[in-house]
């Protein structure tokens, strides 16, 4: 069910906001109406455009499950962090940022983006600045830079309503995603800490539960601890030297092979790769004759 919270409306996404949908947010300013991350569902967004009106589209970041129906609003100004705009300008940049190499998987992703997600390159946007205070007349918005998930991921705090929009720091049991080419585990941890410290009374996340009317409390720690649990699994698996392919075949992130195979194999490789890079940087493992060894 959608919930009106003062001038902020929580719009529940299809399938409880699970990928490839999300929960959207609608803002009613004095002279403009805004939808954040238009991917809750085609019917809801079509109704919103027709009945309530939309003047601007804000994006928390560049991922496909947040831009899915952005083309419904071609007559609206697009707002996004400058750091996250490049993938929206060219399908090849989009695929590059996911770290997709030339081959079958990249071709599958391109087909998916063009046909199912209706990807169309964007020529211009209004860039939202870090820590910017946006005055919508009857509604104030504080921009919170929360990189890590993506370089330009943004969260939004509405101080009068005491509502914090978390975006994809979604407090799900799966934990954070930081598998893109320009994602960062370090920055993800810092962003979680930053969001946890903001004095909100309600929290809106992009997926699953969506609206938290009480402090998520222990969920913050559980969410962050998934990062350390993943790392521990990899280190424990390296009781003996292992190749990258041996590590990947253990399915330490997802627990077991899942379908669609191409998607989950890619995701496992992306997250494991980030952890290996992070462990090497902190000199906890090293590569010796094509095998990773604990130091």
Whether 253 and 267 have beta carbons less than 8 Å apart is answered as yes
HSE-CB at 81 with a 13 A cutoff on CA atoms is: 21
What's residue 260's pLDDT?
Answer: 87
Q: Other CB atoms closer than 10 Å to residue 177's CB: what's the count?
A: 20
Check whether residue 144 and residue 15 sit in a common domain: yes
Kindly compute the dihedral angle of the four CA atoms of residues 266, 269, 274, 278, in this order, to the nearest 10 degrees. 180
Q: State how many domains the chain has.
A: 2
Check whether residue 197 and residue 288 sit in a common domain: no
Q: What is the CATH number of the domain that holds 259?
A: 1.10.10
Torsions phi, psi of 30, nearest 5?
A: -65, -45
Which of 164, 226, 131 shows the shortest CA–CA distance to 8? 164
HSE-CB at 210 with a 13 A cutoff on CA atoms is: 21
95: containing domain: 3-216
Which of 22, 7, 93, 14 shows the shortest CA–CA distance to 60? 22
pTM of structure: 0.96
Check whether residue 108 and residue 169 sit in a common domain: yes
- List per-block mean pLDDT (blocks of 10 residues) for the chain, which spans 295 residues: 97 97 97 97 98 98 98 97 98 98 93 95 98 96 98 98 98 98 98 98 98 97 98 98 98 95 93 98 97 97
Instruction: Give the residue from 185, 216, 247 where a domain finishes.
Output: 216
Torsions phi, psi of 24, nearest 5?
A: -105, 165
Check whether residue 44 and residue 79 sit in a common domain: yes
């Amino acid at each position: 069910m959608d919930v009106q919270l003062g001038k902020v409306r929580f719009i529940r996404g299809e399938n409880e906001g699970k990928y490839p949908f999300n929960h959207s947010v609608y803002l009613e300013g004095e002279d403009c109406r805004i939808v954040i991350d238009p991917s809750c569902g085609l019917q809801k967004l079509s109704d919103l455009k027709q009945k309530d009106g939309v003047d601007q589209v804000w994006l928390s970041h560049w991922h496909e499950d947040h831009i899915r129906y952005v083309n419904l609003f071609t007559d609206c100004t697009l707002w996004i962090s400058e750091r996250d705009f490049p993938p929206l300008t060219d399908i090849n940049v989009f695929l590059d940022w996911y770290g997709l190499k030339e081959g079958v998987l990249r071709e599958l992703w391109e087909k998916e983006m063009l046909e199912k997600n209706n990807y169309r390159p964007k020529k211009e946007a209004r860039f939202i600045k870090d820590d910017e205070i946006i005055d919508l007349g009857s509604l104030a918005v504080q921009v919170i830079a929360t990189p890590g998930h993506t370089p330009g991921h943004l969260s939004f705090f509405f101080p009068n309503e005491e509502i914090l929009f978390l975006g994809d720091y979604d407090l799900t049991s799966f934990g954070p995603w930081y598998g893109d080419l320009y994602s960062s585990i370090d920055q993800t941890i810092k962003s979680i800490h930053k969001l946890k410290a903001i004095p909100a009374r309600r929290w809106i996340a992009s997926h699953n539960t969506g609206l938290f009317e009480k402090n998520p409390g222990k969920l913050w720690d559980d969410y962050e601890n998934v990062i350390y649990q993943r790392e521990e699994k990899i280190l424990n698996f390296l009781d003996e030297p292992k190749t990258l392919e041996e590590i990947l075949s253990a399915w330490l992130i997802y627990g077991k092979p899942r379908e669609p195979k191409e998607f989950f194999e890619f995701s496992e490789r992306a997250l494991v790769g980030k952890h290996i890079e992070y462990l090497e940087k902190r000199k906890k493992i090293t590569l010796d004759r094509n095998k990773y060894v604990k130091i």
